[in-house]
Amino acid sequence: MPEPVQQPTEDSTVDDWFGQNVARDQELADELVAEEGGDQAAAEERFEQEADGQDTYEAGHPRPTDG
């Protein structure tokens, strides 16, 4: 069973959060490959729908506006 991922705190760094997002997405990728019986293409398609690491990261790091 995977260990729970720590939630960001005020003294966490951005690198910690990014690493946690990557770790969650890696676990999801591994699970999807197993669920799809090793079918990489099917697992990749599901990953694109289910993974949220990039969205979570981008939500916490909005792009600066041009001004």
Closest CA to 28 of 40, 43, 13: 43
Q: Which domain holds residue 49?
A: 14-60
Question: How far apart are the C-alpha atoms of 15 and 60, rounded to whole Å?
Answer: 12
Residue 1 lies in a domain: no
Residue 2 lies in a domain: no
Residue 54 lies in a domain: yes
Residue 7 lies in a domain: no
Residue 9 lies in a domain: no
| Cβ contact 36:42 at 8 Å | yes
Q: 62 pLDDT exceeds 80? A: no
Residue 3 lies in a domain: no
Using one digit for the tens of pLDDT, what is the confidence trace for 12-54?
A: 565 567 778 888 889 999 999 999 999 999 999 999 888 877 6
Tally the domains of the chain. 1
**pTM of the full predicted structure?**
0.59
